[in-house]
Amino acid sequence: MGINHAAISGPKEAVIGRREDGALALSPIDQILVGRFACREFCNAPVPRQTIEQILRVARFAPSGANIQPWHVYVLAGAAKDRVSTALLDAHQNSRDEHISEYKYYASDLPDLYLKRRQEFGRLFYGSLGIAQIDLDARSRQTAKNYTFFGAPVGLIVTIDRRLEVGSWLDLGMFVQNVMLAAAGRGLQSCPQETFAKYHRILRRLLSIPDEQMVVCGISIGKAKAEGRETLMPRADIDEFATFQGFEL
Ligand SMILES: Cc1cc2nc3c(=O)[nH]c(=O)nc-3n(C[C@H](O)[C@H](O)[C@H](O)COP(=O)(O)O)c2cc1C
């Protein structure tokens, strides 16, 4: 089954449904959830350290198995962020084949359902940027923007202790989502970025990341350049991923 575009024309309508009076029944947290999107163009208005501290202070209430809280973040702004950007842009330009992530994000053989969704992502994403999918130079220039944190004033590098198991990666994902939602609740947008994992050796050196920590992803945080934008990306409707049993109401 493909993606049901009729049900996902706009995230708010798609997710929430309508009340009897026709208004959208959005709870405050729903609004934050559907208002978050992977922002790839930030304005450079600074975000104070205190705001990031507040975001992390609430994000740490993410659940984790046995409450082991397996997250660690390196928070970068100003010259520290620029130093990382310069080094990673240089590597992306000159030595990208010498670097590889310590973990595999995507399966080599994506099952058809996910392959189709990835193709749809590529079509929408590069289409929105006016980049032909066969234009590898333009795609590489777009990838490079990851390393400037898309112009965001704050960049996080997220790591996990490599001695932990896959369950802890679930916990880490919840923490990452909490960071992004806490940011959205403060009028800030974010982008989670696995692209940083590739350059773990450089990041390790620049940020003094200990050997036992594995670089998982980055997160750019700042004010979106375009206010009021929604995600470009559709979502499959619930009948494509949920099976209900036993309900009487
Ligand atoms: C763990 C993770 C890693 C991601 N890595 C990147 C990345 O490296 N670069 C990028 O531009 N987007 C990245 N994304 C953003 C996804 O492309 C985006 O979340 C997805 O297309 C859905 O769009 P939305 O978040 O705007 O709803 C990542 C998302 C996740 C959850």
Q: What is the pLDDT of residues 111-137, one digit of tens each?
A: 999 999 999 999 999 999 999 999 999
Residue at 152 is within a domain: yes
State in Å: Cα 22 to ligand 1 middle.
32
- pTM here is 0.93
* Backbone angles phi and psi of 246, in degrees to 5: 80, 5
| Rounded-to-integer distance, Cα 195 and Cα 186, Å | 25
The pLDDT profile of the chain, 249 residues, written as one tens digit per residue, is 333 333 333 455 555 555 566 566 799 999 999 999 999 999 989 999 999 999 999 999 999 999 999 999 999 999 999 999 999 999 999 999 999 999 999 999 999 999 999 999 999 999 999 999 999 999 999 999 999 999 999 999 999 999 999 999 999 999 999 999 999 999 999 999 999 999 999 999 999 999 999 999 999 999 999 877 778 899 999 999 999 999 999
Residue with CA closest to ligand 1 atom 16: 38
Instruction: Tell me if 233 CB under 6 Å of ligand 1.
Output: yes
Count of residues in the chain: 249
Question: Per the structure, how many domains does the chain have?
Answer: 2
* Parent domain of 30: 1-35
H helical segments located in 99-210: 112-129, 136-146, 166-184, 200-207
Residues 221 and 188 in one domain: yes
**CATH classification at residue 152:** 3.40.109.10
Residues 153 and 221 in one domain: yes
CA-to-CA dists, residue 7 to 4, 53, 78, 237, angstroms: 6, 38, 42, 6
Which atom from ligand 1 is nearest to the alpha carbon of 125?
A: 21
CB atoms within 10 A of CB 105: 11
